Amino acid sequence: MKTEQQYYEEAISLQDYMSKMETHKDNTMNIYEQFQMPKDDEFIQILKEKNPHVLVITEDWCGDAMMNNPILRHIAEAAGIEVRCVYRDQNLDLMDQYLTNGGRSIPVYLLLSKDGEVLAKWGPRAPKVQEFVTDIRKDLPAKEDPSFQEKQKEVIGQMTEQYKTNPDFWLWVYEDIRKEFMPAVQKSS
C-alpha cells in the first residue's frame, strides 16, 4: 500500500483541482475571491518556517469541499506551502484510513511533514458548521418516508446557500484548520 507521501507525490495541485472542477466550480471560485483571511502572522509564519505540505482527499460534487478548499488555498498561498489533491472515489484505500464516524466524509486534509509523516488530520467540517448541519437536518423525515428525498434536497439547498454566502462559516473553517494544524506543525522537526 502507498504511503500518504506517495499519494501526495502523484496528486494534482489544489489550483489545478479547482480549475478542473465541474459541479461547484463557480461557488468555489466565488468563495475563494470573497474570503478575507484574518491577519495571522503567527500561524502563517510557523507554516513558512516548518514548510509542511497538505494532501487533500476531495471530490468536486461535495458541498463541504466547495467551501473548505478555497480557505485552505488562501492559507497555503499566504504561507507558501504546497497543497495537492486526490479524488476520494479513485483512492478508497487512502480514504478508508481516514473515515469520519465510519463514513467516507470529505474533504480530509492531511498535514504532512517535509518527510511525509502525517502530523495532523482535519475535516470534513468545522465544529460550528457541524452544529448548523445537525440542526438543519434534525427535522428530516425517515429515509423510508415518501417525502424524504424532497426534504433532503431542500436541506442541501439551504446548506449550500449558507456555505457559499456566509463569511462566518468561512472564518469557522479557517479557525478550526488553524486549531488542528498549528500545534502539530509546532511540534514537528
For residues 164 and 9, give the distance between their C-alpha atoms in angstroms, rounded to a whole number: 31
pLDDT band at 41, cuts 50/70/90? confident
Q: Which SS3 state, helix, strand or coil, does residue 46 take?
A: helix
Instruction: State the chain's mean pLDDT as an integer.
Output: 95
pLDDT at 42 over 90: yes
Quick one: cell of 36?
478575507
pLDDT band at 40, cuts 50/70/90? confident
3-state SS track over 83-132: EEEEEHHHCHHHHCCCCECCECCCCEEEEECCCCCEEEEECCCCHHHHHH
Q: Do the Cβ atoms of 114 and 120 come closer than 8 Å?
A: no
The per-residue pLDDT for 52 is 96
Domains of the chain (ranges; CATH) run 4-125+167-187 (3.40.30.10)
Print burial letters for 46-71: b (CB count within 10 Å at least 16), e (below 16): bbeebebbbbbbbbbebbbbbbbbbb
The per-residue pLDDT for 128 is 97
Listed range (31-35, 38-42, 107-111, 147-151) with the worst mean pLDDT? 38-42
pLDDT band at 188, cuts 50/70/90? confident
pLDDT at 65 over 90: yes
Residues 126-142 have pLDDT tens digits of 999 999 999 999 989 99
User: What is the average pLDDT across 153-166?
Assistant: 95
Quick one: cell of 37?
483571511
pLDDT at 17 over 80: yes
The per-residue pLDDT for 1 is 84
Residues 68-109 have pLDDT tens digits of 999 999 999 999 999 999 999 999 999 999 999 999 999 999
Q: What's the pTM value of the predicted model, to 2 decimals? A: 0.94
